[in-house]
Amino acid sequence: MEGPGDPPEGTPEGAPGGGDEEYRSVVFDESFVRAARLQESSARERLGDHAPAVRTRHVWARLGASRQLLLLVLLIALAFGTAVYMGLRHPYKDPRPPSAEPLQTTVIPLAPRGTVPGGPAARLFAGSPAQRFEEGAEGVTLPDVRRTQNFSEGLVMAALATAKEYTVRSALDRELLGGGDGRAVRVLLAPSQVEQYDRSFERPAADGQHAITGWVVRFDPAQVAVDDAPVRVGGAFSLTEASPAALEVSADHTFVYAVRPAGTGPAKAGAAADTSLFTVRRIVRFRFDRDDLQDHHVQVLRSTVEAGPESCGADDAAYLRPVLAGRTADNSRQPLTDPYATGRPSVGLCGVLAPGPLAPAGGPAPPGR
């Protein structure tokens, strides 16, 4: 019996004629040939020694030029993206410390015993323990610089230098002492503390966080004038490595100012004078992370201020208010403490200004209480 014949309609268009039915569904078009994994060697190639009759085609060769270019671009983009991601997520990157904590402040008035003495500034300093202090910024000296376990000598020096700059600007700047706006100090602060600093100037409050006198030394220009005599300063810095990501600097300084009532001129030597001395001891703790050191910023964590002669309860959070020459302290405004009240404790802190030395040899000591 003969095999199957051609259909009555004839051979389908495009199908190879005369072949068996089982091969008629196979169409060897150009795309099929290009995609083949095996390629027959040419006659010239088969003339060579040991040349195989067929060879395997590489996947890359089966792609067209445009597809090769597109794939190359995609591979480069993927490699670049991976490098960026690994740079941002490097497992050995130094830990990032948290944002700066709010500054915590304590301001303690030191009330005088009896009448505040007055006289020419030079004579007052000569009879005071402040006579051995240096004048102005010369008294704000840095310790020897040594590297720590995780911070180089250069970074340690940067932390100490910035702490000194804050100390000088916040306690010795004449414009700020006279009630200035404190912009010279503001630019040194870590960005996360700027809002708290601005709030302290705009709406000062004795709440432990928003007293201007916790940030800077400042007198009410309507009441107090700072004498032209240089401010006497004694104190020291110390530095520790708080963590592999942060340094902490402690500043403990005593500042002695010659002050007089606003609107009066400098006292003449040998004449009755309205000038008196006002002492501020300030202990400040600073923190620096690596970004702070790079950006020349500082985090001010804690500030404790003892200032006198002042009346107990005199601190209004905006200015230090000295008891001036010839006057006595008014301690009638000492705030009461109610142990039955709820909410934030309100405790009136006050000390008594010691008439003895402000600091023994070798460093400052707190005025007596």
Which DSSP category does 324 fall into?
A: P
- Of 217, 222, 194, 227, give the one whose Cα is nearest residue 319: 217
In 171-275, DSSP assigns E strands to 224-226, 232-243, 246-261
Q: pLDDT of 61-72, one tens digit each?
A: 555 667 767 778
Mean local confidence (pLDDT), 292-314: 93
Higher pLDDT, 62 or 279: 279
Cα end-to-end span (Å), the chain: 130
Q: Which of 70-79, 150-159, 219-228, 297-306 has the lowest mean pLDDT?
A: 70-79
Which tens digit of pLDDT belongs to each residue from 157-188?
Answer: 999 999 999 999 999 999 999 999 899 999 99
pLDDT at site 123: 92
User: In terms of residues, how long is the chain?
Assistant: 369
pTM for this model (two decimals):
0.69
H/E element holding 193? Answer: helix 191-202
User: Comparing C-alpha atoms, which of 60, 127, 110 is closest to residue 367?
Assistant: 110
Q: State yes or no: pLDDT of 304 exceeds 70.
A: yes
pLDDT at 75: 84
Identify the band that residue 357 occupies on the pLDDT scale cut at 50, 70 and 90: very low
Q: What confidence score (pLDDT) does residue 350 get?
A: 84
| Structure confidence at residue 76 (pLDDT) | 86
Structure confidence by residue, pLDDT tens digits, 15-36: 555 555 555 555 555 665 555 5
Strand-pair category, 299-308 with 351-352? unpaired
Q: How confident is the model at residue 98 (pLDDT cuts 50, 70, 90)?
A: low
